[in-house]
Amino acid sequence: MFYLKVLFYKVIMQVLKLAGKLVPQTQPFIFTGGYSSLALTKLIIDQDTKHVFIVTDAVLNKLGITKGVCNLLAEHQVKVTIYDQVTPDPSESVVNNGIALLRKQQCDLVLAIGGGSSIDAAKMIAVLAYSKQTIKGVAGLLKIRKEGLPLCVIPTTSGTGSEVTMAAVITDTENQSKSLVVSPKMMAMATALDPVLMQGMPAKITADTGFDALTHAIEAYLSKYANAQTDQFALTAIKLIFKQLPTCYHQGDDLAARQALALASCYAGLAFNKTNVGYVHAIAHQIGAKYHSPHGFTNAVVLPVVLDFYLKGSEERLADMAKAIGIDTNNLTSVQAAEQFILAIKELQAEVGIPKTLNCIEEKDIKSLAKSALKEAHYFYPVPKYLRPSQCEKMLTQLCTP
């Protein structure tokens, strides 16, 4: 029975792959370098924008991260409304409250300033700004009917890559689940990778978001949708993250390292935007929705456990990644090189303070978490190898065992 199900899942993935080729995809214009956020702001001004709706969180707003952008907009008589009520893993109410405020102020462009939560919320607010569709109505693949407001993005973390993807994840608090929304109509018009805004990022958030980007790149490289272009993006991202994440973690004010890590996150986003992700995300989404565990942190802990499962069957691809980060693979078999890559991930975890297990998972929830994770993965993600329910439950048990 399991093999029949796997055959069915593979058929679904092929259908989605064909459908994806028919969907037009654009990429945002990317500004990089110190104060590139102000260059993006000038672009917004040149678009004859009248009223910008900034989506961010209260902490960033209080720290003055939005100040430079707001001042430049004000100098050019562009109105600004700041919505700073975004919370981690934004819920439907966060998005709906933002839409209500935007409509009241009659804004004509949405600007996200923040991490993945702010960007995901901004995507949904922009695309549903003046639409009759609801969040539940657009959840899933390609269900958004009309273009929304123009969207620009200034990420303040180096992790989600959401600035260059056509996906958003919104939390359904009532059902303790996460809704994935995928549509090219959510793609940003432009983004700025400004290391100046990332200098003050706490070490823990640097580690968590850095591992989020690493997970995106690795899952993109292992995806059955991978191609030469996504492979180049993914391998470059992996190489940069291994080199720059420790520096950013220990020396947060290193602008060159911050810039490189921001580019790595962006490259990883460009990769998984076409390949999608895999079991690491599927499992992490369920844990995050149930226990409110930070997404990047959860991905970081789950990653090596899933890679251990992939080892037999994906050893050559894992060996490629080992070589990319500088491991001498000349005298190693593919399996040995793959093992060295997984070991290097565990060593990087230790260096940036990522634990080996999660203390939030409750034993009574393991079956339901596994069921939800496999449902998400098998109907959305072109994984290289398929998990049985018992294997997924074993992984979750391993993740919560000290």
Average predicted confidence (pLDDT) for the chain: 95
In a domain, 12, yes or no: no
Question: Do 125 and 94 sit in the same domain of this protein?
Answer: yes
Please say whether the beta carbons of 247 and 259 come within 8 A.
Answer: no
Query: Over the stretch 126-141, which tens digit does the pLDDT of each residue have?
Result: 999 999 999 999 999 8
What pLDDT sits at residue 115?
95
| pLDDT surpassing 90 at residue 32 | yes
Confidence of residue 401 (pLDDT cuts 50, 70, 90): confident
Question: Do 182 and 262 sit in the same domain of this protein?
Answer: no
Alpha-carbon gap, residue 224 to 222, rounded angstroms: 7
Q: Domain with 325 in it: what CATH number? A: 1.20.1090.10
Q: Which residues contact 381 (CB under 8 A, 6 or more apart)?
A: 223, 276, 277, 278, 279, 281, 282
Question: Stretch 362-390: mean pLDDT, rounded?
Answer: 96
Q: Which of 206, 225, 199 is nearest to 12 (CA)?
A: 225
Q: Domain with 52 in it: what CATH number? A: 3.40.50.1970
Last residue of a domain, one of 155, 171, 198: 198
Question: Do 119 and 158 sit in the same domain of this protein?
Answer: yes
- The whole-model pTM stands at 0.94
Comparison of pLDDT for 23 and 317, the residue scoring more:
317
Q: Whole domain around residue 116: which residue ranges?
A: 26-198
Question: Do 194 and 206 sit in the same domain of this protein?
Answer: no
Last residue of a domain, one of 145, 170, 198: 198
In a domain, 187, yes or no: yes
Please say whether the beta carbons of 283 and 395 come within 8 A.
Answer: yes
Confidence of residue 1 (pLDDT cuts 50, 70, 90): confident
Question: Do 35 and 180 sit in the same domain of this protein?
Answer: yes
Question: Do 178 and 131 sit in the same domain of this protein?
Answer: yes
Q: Could you give the number of structural domains in the chain?
A: 2
Confidence of residue 16 (pLDDT cuts 50, 70, 90): confident
Query: Over the stretch 59-104, which tens digit does the pLDDT of each residue have?
Result: 999 999 999 999 999 999 999 999 999 999 899 999 999 999 999 9
